[in-house]
Amino acid sequence: MSDKPTLIEALQADFKARRRKVTLLGFDVWVTPLTVEDENLLAEREPLVGAARYAEMALMKCTDESGAPVFSRNDKDALIRSVASDQLGRLVAAITGPSAETQAKN
């Protein structure tokens, strides 16, 4: 029997490995990539690409080191209307961007 993981095991390991820390204004925020389920939820909650969709991504995918959300549902309006787009964009880029392995190859 092979010691090589199955494809599903490799995909799940890749997902776990893609959890990354982003330091923003002195705060450490942990993000993971979007899953298919996340994409479905985003399509239901915010079908159009734009500020509301990006804010929703931050609500869904930004946690502290222990996995607790760093934003609450009440923060969505502030994320849309009173946060600099480049700061929110850094979080979204970390969520949607390539894996560290892919980045290292380029």
Q: What tens digit of pLDDT does each residue of 43-82 get?
A: 999 999 999 999 999 999 999 999 999 999 999 999 999 9
Provide the percentage of residues in the chain whose pLDDT is more than 70: 92
pLDDT, one tens digit per residue, over 2-53 is: 789 999 999 999 999 999 999 999 999 999 999 999 999 999 999 999 999 9
Q: Please count the other Cβ atoms lying within 10 Å of the Cβ belonging to residue 54.
A: 22
On the question of pLDDT at 100 being above 60, the answer is no
Name the residue ranges covered by the structural domains of the chain.
33-99
φ, ψ for residue 57, nearest 5 deg: -60, -45
Looking up tokens 């480049």, which residue turns up? Answer: 86
CA 87 to CA 14: how far, in whole Å? 26
**DSSP symbol at 70:** S
At residue 98, the pLDDT reads: 78
**Which of 70, 67, 89 is CA-nearest to residue 80?**
89
On the question of pLDDT at 102 being above 70, the answer is no
